[in-house]
């Protein structure tokens, strides 16, 4: 078994100058964390990514790097890589997911290249994949990959983590429909889909519900071949590495050099890749505002602005660079003088030691992205302050703001506010600085990148392990259930009605049992060893009319009513929310011809089976969201069923009602059939050896077995009946 990590960049770069190869290995946080996990779990690590070198260079150098893991480079043709990386990944996905829709430069060619690159990488992963391996896919370059790998290896353990924000529905919907589906279906190929924050996770689940129509239960999406758990896994840093670097000799020397250079001046510091999402122009505007508003700080402060070259081939980045440099010049020219340069700007990366020296020399770290998945710089600054000095000013638009609660938070668009908070930070007393940093350090020490990787990969294993696989009720399995039935003396049969015993019809009142079904039920129920129950979502009057004469127990309204032998409600009193639900649904009935409302005692259902496919689906998504908001904090449950949306009393629950009224522990054989989401509540209870459950139709399920059609259920029941008669 091994871990296969997939990311756009490999943790290894080979640059050839004058025929000589220079190998750079970057042991970034991600690589270190996954390596540490693989060492702990005693499994190998293979890293798949796009090579920034050609195959000849690779063959000449592949034995020359420090091989504590394997590297499998993917070689993409330059033109394909340009369309895949610069165009679709960075000029569509990066821009849109960071809420810059006007920066999006979508082309069909870009999307085709993206799909092609994902397919090439899928082939590479498949060529090294062995059953039992865990595949961990990273970031927005490979949104289609989980699904491609799921198709190739249905039983694979696949984790997907998105390092950038997942936007809300209104932003996401801007993408062409085919792209939206590709992305969502792509991510849903994984067992675990991880995001930095719950906000991002919820944006994703809402998009899946609204666009694909797949509902989730506790962030778990059930699909044909597997289930996907969406969740928040905030990435972190190697805390000890940053914390302990404070006392590194080179860092100490560099720090004293910086301190000497700026003397009494307070230092404001920031470091970012030069990217429009990092809010650098906003930061400069705010700094200018600060100098204007608080002239007493003139000559007493210096802003060290380190920008690291990034994506220079893309026009928007080049434009941003020019704008930043213009603004720096403007501020220095207007506010500075021959003795004082307010902004010291560098467009080059710095070494790790220099970075730590800068972090630990700063009085204030000013981090102001307009949108950021996490922002590791903020965490690194906090971790490196072993001296418990310095203040972190952090944009509330960064995922890191959710973790670093003692930072001074800012709205990056509010220059006035930033100016004020800069003033506050620069004058904060040391006790408060220490208190804030100590609290954040305690959090980061516990929640470091190693814990992050371990939590994510453990979740992948767990979700994969618990993925239920309903097997067809055929052949040996069928014989096994029949044999258990034969051997049992006190059998319980729990049968859902619609979609299980009768096929769904255009209107519920048309789905009625025929003579043959009534005979089978009657005959089964008359056998003394059998106890037969109908467990349905239908109202009690319908069930009484059609089945009331049979010697069976009946549960109606999803568990709201029980007949044994008299009808009794499980819930006392009339629900108060019904009129409100009817009002909301009525608007949808009025605008969607052929849809209708079914009123029950403990629930209201909106049926859209007869509405044109697309229209029915789209309006049902809207109604669903509306009901969720209206019904918040009421004792209800909303079911997104098969062409029906139902609001029901939360105590009208098939699982609970069966548990309290039927599953008394005295049966030595229990068999439940159902086709709907509400039946899953019952299936989840039937876990012991003599308890069996059968899902009718497609879709992921907690049931142990599966039958495809109502007709197959009826054949099976006749067989049980025949066996009962024989005994």
Q: Shortest gap between Cβ of 320 and ligand GDG (angstroms)?
A: 14
How many whole angstroms separate alpha carbon 50 and alpha carbon 74?
5
* Cis amide bond preceding 565, omega within 30: yes
Beta carbon nearer to ligand GDG, 334 or 351: 351
CB of 59 to ligand GDG, least distance (A): 30
Q: Known catalytic residue: 275?
A: no
Residue 375 is a binding residue for ligand GDG (CB under 6 A):
yes
The DSSP code sequence of 90-132 is IIIIHHHHTT-GGG----HHHHHHHHHHHHHHHHHHHHH--TT
Cα three-residue angle 517-521-524, rounded to 5 degrees: 135
Q: Which of 220, 651, 285 is nearest to 468 (CA)?
A: 220
Q: Could you tell me which of 85, 65, 86 has the C-alpha nearest to residue 74?
A: 85
* Both structure tokens of 377: 């710089």
Catalytic residue among 275, 363, 496, 679: 496
121 binds ligand GDG (CB under 6 A): no
**Residue 308 binds to ligand GDG (criterion: CB under 6 A):** yes
DSSP 407-445: SEEE-TT-HHHHHHHHHHHHT--HHHHHHHHHHHHHHHH
**349 lines the binding site for ligand GDG (CB under 6 A):** yes
Residue 227 Cβ, how far from ligand GDG at the closest point, in Å? 25
| Rounded least distance, CB 397 to ligand GDG, Å | 10
For ligand GDG, the binding residue among 148, 208, 235, 366 (CB under 6 A) is 235
C-alpha span between 434 and 429 (Å, rounded):
9
Burial environment of residue 50 by CB neighbours within 10 A (0 to 12, 13 to 18, 19 or more): buried
167: contact with ligand GDG by CB under 6 A: no
Q: Is 350 in the site for ligand GDG (CB under 6 A)?
A: yes
Q: Is 216 helix (H, G, I), strand (E, B) or coil?
A: strand
User: Which of residues 33, 125, 164, 335 is near ligand GDG by CB under 6 A?
Assistant: 164
Which among 345-353, 515-523, 552-560, 706-714 is the span making contact with ligand GDG, rule CB under 6 A? 345-353
Which H helix or E strand runs over 206?
helix 198-207
Considering the complex, what minimum distance in angstroms separates the CB of residue 239 from ligand GDG?
Answer: 13
In this structure, how many other beta carbons lie within 10 angstroms of the beta carbon of residue 315? 11
Q: Is 403 an interacting residue with respect to ligand GDG (CB under 6 A)?
A: no
Candidate residues 2, 124, 163, 320; the one interacting with ligand GDG per rule CB under 6 A: 163
Asked if 397 is part of the footprint of ligand GDG (rule: CB under 6 A), the reply reads: no
Closest CB 376 distance from ligand GDG, rounded Å: 3
The backbone torsions φ and ψ at residue 572, rounded to the nearest 5 degrees and listed phi first, read: -95, 135
Cα 268 from Cα 252, distance rounded (Å): 19
- Backbone φ and ψ of 457, nearest 5°: -70, -30
> 255 vs 247, 259, 303, 377, 701, CA distance in Å?
10, 6, 16, 18, 60
373 binds ligand GDG (CB under 6 A): yes
Applying CB under 6 A, the span of 145-153, 347-355, 677-685, 719-727 interacting with ligand GDG comes to 347-355
Q: Considering the complex, what minimum distance in angstroms separates the CB of residue 554 from ligand GDG?
A: 54
**Which two three-digit tokens encode residue 572?**
């006392």
Q: Which of 133, 238, 372, 531 binds ligand GDG (CB under 6 A)?
A: 372
> Can you tell me which of 75, 352, 424, 650 binds ligand GDG, judged by CB under 6 A?
352
Verify binding: residue 331, ligand GDG, rule CB under 6 A: no
* Contact call for residue 374 and ligand GDG (CB under 6 A): yes
Q: Which of 273, 445, 628, 659 touches ligand GDG by CB under 6 A?
A: 273
Least distance (Å) between residue 572 CB and ligand GDG: 52
Binding of residue 380 to ligand GDG (CB under 6 A): yes
Q: Which is nearer to ligand GDG, 346 or 660 (CB)?
A: 346
Rounded Cα–Cα distance for residues 184 and 646 (Å): 25
Q: Judge contact between 154 and 131, C-beta under 8 A.
A: no
By rule CB under 6 A, what string of x and - marks binding of each residue 551-590 to ligand GDG? ----------------------------------------
CB neighbour list of residue 416: distance below 8 Å, 6 or more residues apart: 289, 293
Are 211 and 175 contacting, i.e. CB atoms less than 8 angstroms apart? no
Tell me if 135 contacts ligand GDG by CB under 6 A: no
Question: What strand order describes the sheet that includes 636-640?
Answer: 596-599, 603-607, 644-649, 636-640
The nearer residue to ligand GDG, 61 or 310, going by C-beta atoms, is: 310
Distance between CA atoms of residues 29 and 376, nearest Å: 10
With contact defined as beta carbons under 8 Å apart, do 433 and 390 qualify? yes
Question: Considering only 322-330, 350-358, 519-527, 668-676, which stretch makes contact with ligand GDG by CB under 6 A?
Answer: 350-358
3, 50, 271, 304: which one binds ligand GDG (CB under 6 A): 271
Length of the chain: 727
**Residue choice 377, 517, 535, 647 for contact with ligand GDG (CB under 6 A):** 377
Would you count residue 453 as binding ligand GDG (CB under 6 A)? no
Minimum distance of ligand GDG from residue 358's CB (angstroms): 9
Judged by CB under 6 A, the residue of 34, 48, 143, 355 near ligand GDG is: 355
Of 203, 171, 28, 192, which is closest to residue 94 (Cα–Cα)?
A: 171
Angle at alpha carbon of residue 147, lines to 143 and 151, rounded to 5°: 155
Beta carbon nearer to ligand GDG, 241 or 654: 241
Q: Which is nearer to ligand GDG, 305 or 502 (CB)?
A: 305
Nearest residue to 212 via CA among 174, 177, 241: 177
CB of 308 or CB of 344, closer to ligand GDG: 308
Cβ at position 90, least distance to ligand GDG in Å: 12
- 694 binds ligand GDG per the rule CB under 6 A: no
Catalytic residue list: 496
Residues lying near ligand GDG in the complex (CB under 6 A) = 163-164, 235, 271, 273, 308, 349-350, 352, 355, 372-377, 380
């Amino acid at each position: 078994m091994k871990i296969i990590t997939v990311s756009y960049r490999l943790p290894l770069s080979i640059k050839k100058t004058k025929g000589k190869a220079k190998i750079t290995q970057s042991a970034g946080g991600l690589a270190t964390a996954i390596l540490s996990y693989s060492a702990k779990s005693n499994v190998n690590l293979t890293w798949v990514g796009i090579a920034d070198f050609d195959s000849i260079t690779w063959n000449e150098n592949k034995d020359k790097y420090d091989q504590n893991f394997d590297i499998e480079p993917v070689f993409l043709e330059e033109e394909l890589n340009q369309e895949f990386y610069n165009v679709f990944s960075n000029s569509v996905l990066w821009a849109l997911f960071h809420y810059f829709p006007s920066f999006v430069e979508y082309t069909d060619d870009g999307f085709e290249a993206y799909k092609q690159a994902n397919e090439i990488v899928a082939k590479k992963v498949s060529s090294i994949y062995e059953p039992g391996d865990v595949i961990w896919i990273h970031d927005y370059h490979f949104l289609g990959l989980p699904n491609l790998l799921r198709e190739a290896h249905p039983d694979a353990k696949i984790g997907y983590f998105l390092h950038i924000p997942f936007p809300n529905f209104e932003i996401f919907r801007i993408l062409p429909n085919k792209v939206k589906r590709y992305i969502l279906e792509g991510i849903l190929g994984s067992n675990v889909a991880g995001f930095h924050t719950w906000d991002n996770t919820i944006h994703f689940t809402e998009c899946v519900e609204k666009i694909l129509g797949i509902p989730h239960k506790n962030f778990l999406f059930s699909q044909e071949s597997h289930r996907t758990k969406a969740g928040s896994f905030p990435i972190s840093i190697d805390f000890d590495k940053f914390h302990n670097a404070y006392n590194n000799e080179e860092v100490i020397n560099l720090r004293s050099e910086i301190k000497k250079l700026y003397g009494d001046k307070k230092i404001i510091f920031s470091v970012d890749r030069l990217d429009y999402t990092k809010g650098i122009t906003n930061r400069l505007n705010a700094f200018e505002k600060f100098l204007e508003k608080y002239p007493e700080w003139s000559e007493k402060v210096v802003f060290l602005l380190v920008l690291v070259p990034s994506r220079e081939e893309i026009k928007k980045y080049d434009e941003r660079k020019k704008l930043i440099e213009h603004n720096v010049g403007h501020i220095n020219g207007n506010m500075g003088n021959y003795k004082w340069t307010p902004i010291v700007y560098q467009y080059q990366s710095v070494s790790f030691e220099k970075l730590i020296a800068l972090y630990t020399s700063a009085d204030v770290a000013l981090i102001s992205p307009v949108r950021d998945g996490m922002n590791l710089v903020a965490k690194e600054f906090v971790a490196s302050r072993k001296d418990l000095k310095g203040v972190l000013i952090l944009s509330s638009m960064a995922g890191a703001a959710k973790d670093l609660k003692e930072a001074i938070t800012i709205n990056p668009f509010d220059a006035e506010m930033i100016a004020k908070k800069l003033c506050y930070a620069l004058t904060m007393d040391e006790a408060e600085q220490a208190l804030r940093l100590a609290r954040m350090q305690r959090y980061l020490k516990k929640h470091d990148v190693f814990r992050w990787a371990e939590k994510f990969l453990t979740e992948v294993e767990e979700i994969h392990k618990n993925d239920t696989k309903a097997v067809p009720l055929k052949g040996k399995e069928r014989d096994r259930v029949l044999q258990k039935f034969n051997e049992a003396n006190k059998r319980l049969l729990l049968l859902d009605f619609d979609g299980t015993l009768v096929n769904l019809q255009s209107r519920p009142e048309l789905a009625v049992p025929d003579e043959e079904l009534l005979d089978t039920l009657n005959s089964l129920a008359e056998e003394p060893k059998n106890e037969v129950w109908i467990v349905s979502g239908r109202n009690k009057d319908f069930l009484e009319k059609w089945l009331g004469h049979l010697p069976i127990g009946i549960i109606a309204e999803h568990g709201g009513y029980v007949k044994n032998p008299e009808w009794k409600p499980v819930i006392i009193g009339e629900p108060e929310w019904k009129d409100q639900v009817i009002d909301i649904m009525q608007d949808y009935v009025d605008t969607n011809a052929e849809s209708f409302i079914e009123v029950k005692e403990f629930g209201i259902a909106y049926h859209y089976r007869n509405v044109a496919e697309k229209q029915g689906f789209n309006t049902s998504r809207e109604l669903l969201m509306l009901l969720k908001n209206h019904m918040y904090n009421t004792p209800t449950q909303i079911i997104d069923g098969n062409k029906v949306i139902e609001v029901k009393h939360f105590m009208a629950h098939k699982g609970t009602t069966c548990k309290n009224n039927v599953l008394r522990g005295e049966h030595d054989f229990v068999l439940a059939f159902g086709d709907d989401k509400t039946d899953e509540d019952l299936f989840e209870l039937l876990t012991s050896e003599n308890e069996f459950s059968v899902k009718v139709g497609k879709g992921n399920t907690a049931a142990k077995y599966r039958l495809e059609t109502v007709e197959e259920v009826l054949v099976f029941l006749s067989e049980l009946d025949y066996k009962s008669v024989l005994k």
